[in-house]
Chain A
Amino acid sequence: MTFDIAAILAVDGIASGAIYALVAIGTVLLFSVTRVMFVPFGDLAAFTALTLAALDDGKTPGTVNLVIALAVLAFAMEALALVRAGKMKMLPRAALFYLVIPIAVALAVRLLAPATPPLPVRLIMALALIVPVAPLLDRIVFRPVADAPVLVLLIIAVALHFALVGLGLLFFGPEGVRTQPLTSWSTEILGAMVSGQTVCIVIAAVALSALLYVGFEFTLTGKALRATSSNRTGARLMGVRPARAGTIAYVLSSILAGVSGLLIAPVNTIFYDSGFLIGLKAFVGAIIGGLHSYPGAAIGAVIVGLLESFASFASSSLKDVIVFSVLVPILVWRSLVSVHIEEEDEE
């Protein structure tokens, strides 16, 4: 391996690693606030890419119908719960958040789609369409069992992933898509060509991680989310509503999934079922960070990306074997470390 090749592989690895990092940060965010290991996270990223591709072609994306269906279902469940609890006064507010806003977004996209607006508008449309999906899924699937053990939530998330893959095939069809690059600009760093797209991906990953860090450290909502993640009951006693914290976490992580979907769409062909592998590799990254540290997850994800890139050069058919084998020693190390923390908690 020459230096040139190593540089090209490093750039390629960092680009995929930055995408995994966005998904990994979202996974950690959701896991710490809601205790849900949100397996379909990668699917949301893939759906964003497929939505953008449909918008590029001036077609109405399948996500429009998905959002409308989910909104109706979520509102029906919320309304039923409110009526049963005798809180009729809350109904208009629930209707606004669960029914009116998502459907308005979906209809707006549907009206605008045939006109093929300029690229920045299409990016916002795709993102706006994907953001309601996770919070609505949370209301339908996870809210009724919010206090279930982590394992139950994980199994439900796995089932949800399979349901979403099936819906993806129904809405987007079996063929893959690839969108136009956001920019055709490119530069040379250390003898390796770096495309503008790669630069965009890295900047977005760094900027969003920094924003999250600032948000969690210095704002009241961020502190409420952190409180919920460290102790649900304690946060409740202090006046933080876990359900609301959960919704905020879902919206934030939807944005992360959406952005990674928009960024990955021009660099790789995305299929309805591409999301799982992205989510899985991000998960490995998140595990390296111990599932609670955002910088740890981001660094872990970049390590996975680099490892993957060099592993495909070493032996392309054993690439995934190498990447996932790395998980074993990390899990051993992590389990040794985390037992120690739990003991401290019990004291």
Chain B
Amino acid sequence: MHRLAAVAVSALLVSAPAQAEIKLGFITALSGPAAALGIPYANGMKAARKYKAKIGNETVTLIQLDDGSDPAATTRNARKLVEEEKVDILIGTATAPGTIAMATIANELGVPMIAVSPIKIETADPAKQWTIAVPQPPMLMAKVVADRMKRDKVHNVGYIGFSDAWGDLVYAGGKAAEARGDIKLLTNERYARTDTSVTAQILRILATKPDGVLIGGSSTQAALPLLALADRGFKGHNYGLASLINPDFVRVGGKAAEGVQVSAGPVIVSEQLPDGHFSKKLSADFRAAYKEVNGSESRDGFSAYSFDAYLIFAGAAERALGKAKPGTLEFRKALRDEMLNTKELAGVHAVYNFKPGQGYGVDDRSLVIVKLKDGKWIYAP
């Protein structure tokens, strides 16, 4: 397999060979269709290592592999990292199918893993749970948006989303809010990323006279329904999830996208957060570290997921070091137990609380509503 970013070994390790090292196996997509997410994930990991190079007295050796956005390659890489490199923990990857494949390997070989993509985590038998996930689950994102709709007194909501798994997830989130009585979903219109027009779908939505429209698309092409709505003179509120946050969405959407409200991790608008918010100071540190190692500004949420994954790992490893020596089965077990024992750990996206039997550790604090105003995302508490 490609080994684009080679093994990074700290100079400290060379000078102090007597010490044990903690080996971190990181898989991401540096090539292939998911590279647009995979590269930010890799940049975030670099920033995290700059921010916290040592855990206790131990150095962290990062072994990063590229899976080319291919789940089969993720499987091979994960197996190789565990069996040949003897890593203590796995973190990855950019695609959901790849992450699921990786979690299967982690559970099979008994290695703790932190998923940076939103996947369903198998928690039927807590003794066999080796994986936790960092991102906010789509259901929670939809719940926070539905809460905002309720506050805006938007009750009748039209829905249009991608004709794929993401479109289904957002629709399911909307339906869950409907079951709670917060909103009422009037339509379930779908479109494909390569479609040339959504006029027909928008006509159907407008025929139901909605107060607002929920968009279940992502990045650039999420702007298509907004443009069609603006063409038809729709004056209601528009809502979306964090998948809309992308510079190209703003560029393509232009005026039609103005005023759209989405739920996103607080790191997106960290500068605008009130003083004392858990994410404000940490995000500033993250941004500084990111700029120093990558030479550019971080404006995406993905690099922040790998940063948070590293913080969760570092916190758990610090506690696990007291129990066992890195590189052993006992250490991996201790690391897993400590990972599932994470309490009130502040990251840039969320305050994390994990416990056995739960794959996700975020709550309502992990999402804020941001509004697009004059081409910029503005914190809208």
Chain B nearest CB from A250 CB (Å) reads 25
Which residues of A (3-31) have their CB < 8 Å from a CB of B?
5, 8-9, 12, 15-16, 19
Kindly state whether residue B18 has any CB partner on chain A within 8 Å: no
**Chain-A contact segment, one of B44-52, B122-130, B199-207, B304-312:** B199-207
A129 is an interface residue with CB less than 8 A from chain B = no
Q: With A267-B196, A317-B163, A320-B192 as known contacts, state yes or no: A9 contacts B252, CB within 8 Å.
A: no
Residue in A12, A268, A313, A316 whose CB lies within 8 Å of B190: A316
Query: Which residues of A lie under 8 Å from residue B193 when comparing CB positions?
Result: 271
B189 at the interface (CB under 8 A from A): yes
Contact with B along A237-277 (1 / 0, CB 8 A): 00000000000000000000000000010011101011011
Closest to A6 in B: B203
A113 to B190, CA, bound (A): 38
A176 touches which one: B163, B201, B203, B252 (CB < 8 A)?
A: B252
What is the interface size of chain A, counting residues whose CB is below 8 A from a CB of the partner? 33
A229 within 8 A of B: no
Residue ID in chain A nearest B246 by CB atoms: A175
Tell me if A16 and B248 are in contact (CB < 8 A): no
CB distance from B217 to the nearest CB of A (A): 11
Please measure, in the bound complex, the distance between the C-alpha atom of A124 and the C-alpha atom of B91, giving whole angstroms.
Answer: 49
Complexed CA–CA distance, A175 and B221 (Å): 9
Of A178, A193, A276, A312, which contacts B200 at CB under 8 A? A312
A-B contact count (CB 8 A): 80
Please determine whether B35 and A9 come into contact, CB atoms closer than 8 angstroms: no
Mask: chain B, 179-191; 1 = CB below 8 Å from A; 0 = not: 0000000000111
Q: Which residues of A contact B368 (CB under 8 A)?
A: none
- Counting CB contacts under 8 A, is B219 at the interface? yes
The residue in chain B whose Cβ has the minimal distance to the Cβ of A312 is B200
Q: Report B-chain residues with C-beta under 8 Å of the C-beta of A277.
A: 194-195
Q: Does B96 contact A (CB under 8 A)?
A: no
The answer to whether B200 and A9 have CB atoms under 8 Å apart is: yes
Q: In the complex the two chains form, what is the Cα distance from A91 to B192 in whole Å?
A: 49
| A313-B252 in contact given A12-B197, A267-B197, A268-B196 (Cβ < 8 Å) | no
Given contacts A5-B207, A313-B204, contact A176 B197 (CB under 8 A): no
| A15 contact set on B, CB distance < 8 A | 197
- Is A269 touching B224 in the complex (CB atoms < 8 A)? yes
Any B CB within 8 A of the CB of A215: no
Q: Which of A307-347 contact B (CB under 8 A)?
A: 309-313, 316-317, 319-320
B200 near A176 with CB under 8 A, answer no
Q: Are A176 and B204 interface neighbours, CB within 8 A?
A: no
B190, B198, B252: the one within 8 Å of A317 (CB): B190
Mostly helix, strand, loop or mixed at chain B's interface?
helix
* B107 close to A (CB within 8 Å): no
Question: Once the chains are docked, how many angstroms separate the CA of A312 from the CA of B200?
Answer: 6
A217 to chain B, nearest CB (A): 32
Name the residue of chain A whose CB is nearest to the CB of B192: A320
Evaluate contact between A309 and B33: CB separation under 8 angstroms: no
Whose C-beta in chain A lies nearest to the C-beta of B199?
A12
Is A177 on the interface with B (CB-CB < 8 A)? Answer: yes
Bound Cα distance A178, B196 (Å): 11
Question: Does A144 interact with chain B (Cβ within 8 Å)?
Answer: no
Please report the C-alpha to C-alpha distance between residue A89 and residue B208 in the assembled complex, in whole angstroms. Answer: 73
**A64 on the B face (CB < 8 A):** no
Query: How distant is the Cα of A277 from the Cα of B220 in the complex, in angstroms?
Result: 18
Contacts of B204 in A (CB 8 A): 313, 316
**B223 close to chain A: CB less than 8 A:** yes
Q: How far is the CA of A193 from the CA of B191 in the complex (A)?
A: 22
Interface residue? A174 (CB, 8 A): yes
Whether B199 contacts A309 by the Cβ 8 Å rule is: yes
CB-based contact A269/B252 at 8 Å: yes
Asked if A316 contacts B196 (CB within 8 A), the reply is no
The listed residue (B199, B223, B231) touching A269 by CB distance below 8 A is B223
B 242-257 to A, binary, CB cutoff 8 A, 1 in contact else 0: 0000101000100000
Most chain B beta-carbon contacts within 10 A, residue among A274, A309, A312: A312
Q: Quote the shortest CB–CB distance from A156 to chain B (angstroms).
A: 24
Asked whether B163 lies within 8 Å of A175 as measured between CB atoms, the reply is no
Bitwise interface map of A from 37 to 57 toward B, beta carbon under 8 Å scored 1, else 0: 000000000000000000000
Contact of B248 among A9, A176, A276 (CB under 8 A): A176
B36 interface residue, CB < 8 Å from A? yes
CB closest residue in chain A, given B247: A175
- Interface residue ranges of B216-233 to A (CB < 8 Å): 219-221, 223-224, 231
Residue A68, interface by CB 8 Å = no
Instruction: Give the chain B neighbours of A316 by CB distance below 8 A.
Output: 163, 189-191, 198, 200-201, 204
Q: Which of B329-370 contact A (CB under 8 A)?
A: none
Known: A19-B196, A320-B192. 20 other contacts (CB 8 A): A8-B199, A12-B197, A12-B200, A16-B197, A174-B33, A176-B221, A177-B252, A178-B252, A193-B231, A267-B197, A268-B195, A269-B221, A271-B193, A271-B194, A273-B194, A309-B200, A313-B201, A313-B203, A316-B190, A316-B198
* Interchain residue pairs A-B with the least CB separation, the first 3: A313-B200, A312-B200, A176-B220
A-B contact pairs, 17 of them (CB 8 A): A8-B199, A12-B197, A12-B199, A174-B35, A176-B248, A178-B223, A269-B221, A271-B194, A274-B194, A277-B195, A278-B196, A310-B200, A312-B191, A316-B163, A316-B200, A316-B201, A319-B195
